[in-house]
Structures are given as structure tokens and as C-alpha cells.
């Protein structure tokens, strides 16, 4: 069984540009979560998608957005990139929006804004 | 609001010594609590969850609702336990389950 896959592995962008990160959940998982892991700050919750809808978002500005496709894969878009957006972005998936069994994480996309 | 606190950024022990990684939480309902581990150059992975009352790789964690704690323990640390450990809480807020992680504790086990 394939795990949670994220692409690209690394992404370098210039300040002001837009970044698009992609995530494919484990087969059968309908919920996708996005986290930002910045140095020294741990994991900060960004967005949660389930059944194609945004269910919740963390304390991030609107330039962080995303969507979930019918096959449950997801995109995270970051507009008007700022230097402090440089971080590891992790995607996780779970069954049906409940975290009873915990989350399964991808290996992340390292975004560097220069 | 829910919050997870891991008071130690770094915990350094010698092989064979007992280990306790602290986790305290703030949540008004019945939480679901987890420990995740991230070994060097590997992805973050679930270590254990309180509902299953299991022992994984010699680690155990007991939910203490009175002290609102979920500390991770191992009686004899091994070098391969060196990793970053995150405590996580899943609770309902406004009908949605909002996952919250602590900032993590780096465990270093010296030979």
C-alpha cells in the first residue's frame, strides 16, 4: 500500500511568487491535513479537507489556501510568498475526518523563499 | 481552546537510563492523545495512542486526566531511540476535530 505522497520534495521560490504543493493521501483516506513545520516552532496546523470541502483552518492568513479533488488528493497554494514562509510543509491523511487511529504523514515539501 | 505543551526542547540521557518525555494538555472535553516520532531523515510516524493502551518499542504512555498529562516513558533507553518526539491531541471544537501538536522534544541517547 502506498503511503502519503507529496510533491515536489523541494521548492525554491522568490518572494512575492506563488507556490503550489501537492499531496496524495493513502488509498481510502478521505481527510487531508496540511501542517507547516518551521524551525523551532513545531507543527502548526494549516488546513483540513474532507470529502472535497475545507473543514477547518489554522491561524494563517488567507494567502494560504488549497483544495481537495474528487480523488481526495489535495493542493496547498501559498500566494505572495514571504521569507518567513520558508518551512517544511507536511501533509497527513486519516479516515473520514476522525483521528481515532492517528494520522499518516508524508515526507514533506521543503519550501525555500529567497 | 486546546493546547499541548512539551516543556523540554531537549532531553539527553545515557543508554540504559530511564526516559520520561513530558506532555501536558489543555482541553475541556475527552481528548484523543498520541505520541509521534521522527527519526533522522525519516517521516513523522505514529508511535502510540492512548486509547489502545499499547507498548511500542518499549515505550508506554498513560493518560492522567487529573494532571492533564500524557507523559511518554521507557525504562531503559537505547541509542536508536534518539529522535524528535511530538505529543498530539485531537479534540472536537465546534463540531470539527482540530489536531494540535506540541513543539516537540529532541531525545538524545548517548552510548
Chain B nearest-CA distance from A39, in A, is: 10
Helix or strand (DSSP H, E) at A48: strand A42-50
Chain B nearest-CA residue for A31:
B97
| pLDDT tens digits, A5-51 | 999 999 999 999 999 999 999 998 899 999 999 987 889 999 999 89
The one-character DSSP state at B59 is: B
Query: Shortest CB distance from A102 goes to which of B46, B96, B98?
Result: B46
Query: Mean per-residue pLDDT for B101-110?
Result: 95
A42/B101 CB distance under 8 A: yes
Decide if A60 touches B, using CB distance below 8 A. Answer: no
User: According to the model, what pLDDT value does residue B53 have?
Assistant: 77
A99 and B99 Cβ atoms separated by less than 8 Å: yes
From CA A32, how far away is CA A92, in angstroms rounded? 6
What dihedral do alpha carbons B72, B46, B87, B40 form, nearest 10°? 90
| pLDDT tens digits, B37-81 | 999 989 999 999 887 778 889 999 988 989 999 999 999 999 999
Domains of chain B: 3-110 (2.60.40.10)
Q: How many residues are present in chain B?
A: 111
Query: Mean per-residue pLDDT for A94-113?
Result: 84
Chain A nearest-CA distance from B38, in A, is: 10
Q: Which residues pair with A6 in a beta bridge?
A: A23
Decide if A33 touches B, using CB distance below 8 A. Answer: yes
| pLDDT tens digits, A44-100 | 999 999 899 998 899 999 999 999 999 999 999 999 999 999 999 999 998 866 666
Query: Mean per-residue pLDDT for B94-99?
Result: 64
Chain A nearest-CA residue for B100:
A45
The one-character DSSP state at A25 is: P
Domains of chain A: 5-113 (2.60.40.10)
Amino acid at each position: 500500500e502506498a503511503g502519503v505522497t507529496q510533491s515536489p520534495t523541494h521548492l525554491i521560490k522568490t518572494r512575492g511568487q506563488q507556490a503550489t504543493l501537492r499531496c496524495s493521501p493513502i488509498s481510502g483516506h478521505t481527510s487531508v491535513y496540511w501542517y507547516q513545520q518551521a524551525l523551532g516552532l513545531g507543527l502548526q496546523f494549516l488546513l483540513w479537507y474532507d470529502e472535497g470541502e475545507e473543514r477547518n483552518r489554522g491561524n494563517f492568513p488567507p494567502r494560504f489556501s488549497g483544495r481537495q479533488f474528487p480523488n481526495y488528493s489535495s493542493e496547498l497554494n501559498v500566494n505572495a510568498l514571504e521569507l518567513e514562509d520558508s518551512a517544511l510543509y507536511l501533509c497527513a491523511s486519516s479516515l473520514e475526518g476522525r483521528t481515532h487511529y492517528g494520522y499518516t504523514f508524508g515526507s514533506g515539501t521543503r519550501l525555500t523563499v529567497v | 481552546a486546546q493546547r499541548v505543551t512539551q516543556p523540554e526542547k531537549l532531553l539527553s540521557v545515557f543508554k540504559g537510563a530511564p526516559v520520561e518525555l513530558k506532555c501536558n494538555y489543555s482541553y475541556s472535553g475527552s481528548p484523543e492523545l498520541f505520541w509521534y516520532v521522527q527519526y533522522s531523515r525519516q517521516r513523522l510516524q505514529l508511535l502510540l495512542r492512548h486509547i489502545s493502551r499499547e507498548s511500542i518499542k518499549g515505550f508506554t504512555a498513560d493518560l492522567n486526566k487529573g494532571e492533564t498529562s500524557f507523559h511518554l516513558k521507557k525504562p531503559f533507553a537505547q541509542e536508536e531511540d534518539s529522535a524528535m518526539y511530538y505529543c498530539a491531541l485531537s479534540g472536537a471544537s465546534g463540531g470539527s476535530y482540530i489536531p494540535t501538536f506540541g513543539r516537540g522534544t529532541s531525545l538524545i541517547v548517548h552510548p
